[in-house]
Amino acid sequence: MLGPPGAGKGTQAERYATSRGIPKISTGDMLRQAAHDGTEIGLRAKDTIARGELMQDDVMIGIVRDRLAQDDAQQGFVLDGFPRTVAQAAALDDMMAVRGPLIVVEIVVEEAELVRRLSTRMVCERCGATAHGFGSGGKKALECRNCGGSLVQRSDDDDAVVRERLKIYQRQTKPLVDYYQARPTFRSVDGLQQPDRVAADLAAAIAAAGNGVGR
């Protein structure tokens, strides 16, 4: 799934993966977990994520290649957060050469809405679930609906970092649309709709793209 930060890729990827019984593979989640665990890659990722920047291509390609080789990904998977550069996309094509087809869906949301969503996004410190809106009780009063853990703002959802992330997306990640757009397995979905409508359009787009020929 392609789309800028705040487009809803994570939510929709999780919904689709769960409904199909395949893994959702989120490079962002893997890097944040590595940072929490204090691994070598995690420590490198922590500072990079906090600045709103992208991890180096070779690091991300290696992480994804290892993950796609695992047993649970052999019957299909949903990638969220990878590829983010054309170099990563080319590497993914190599990985998919004997697996295809690779279906690519872009979730489209205008920038003003992205800034609004990200500036009000909260995550659970305990289970990592995402929520939106601070509520009348303030940030500290919010609790996760899933597990009751505390909801906090992600470090990379600070207003200044959000705008930097969007600039980086436009500069480095948007060219992916040009890279994939001519393929019969590429589709776009309107991310400004209600989540259920986005999910339905996404499923229909993937089904239609699956009938495309080649990658």
Active-site entry in 67, 84, 117, 187: 84
Q: Is 44 a catalytic residue?
A: no
Tokens 């994520």 -> residue = 49
Distance of alpha carbon 87 from alpha carbon 61, whole angstroms: 9
> In sequence order, what are the residues at sequence separation of 6 or more whose Cβ sits closer than 8 angstroms to the Cβ of residue 171?
none
Which residue among 15, 67, 121, 187 is the active-site one? 121
- Check if 165 is active-site: yes
The catalytic residue among 15, 67, 117, 165 is: 165
Residue 84 catalytic?
yes
Q: Is 20 a catalytic residue?
A: no
Asked about 171 being catalytic, the answer comes back as: no
Burial class of residue 75, CB neighbours in 10 A (0-12, 13-18, 19+):
exposed
Active-site residue, selected from the candidate residues 20, 44, 126, 154: 154
Catalytic one among 9, 32, 67, 117? Answer: 9
Where are the strands (E) in 33-157, listed by range?
Answer: 78-80, 104-108, 121-124, 130-132, 151-152
DSSP SS3 for 182: coil
Catalytic residues: 9, 84, 121, 154, 165
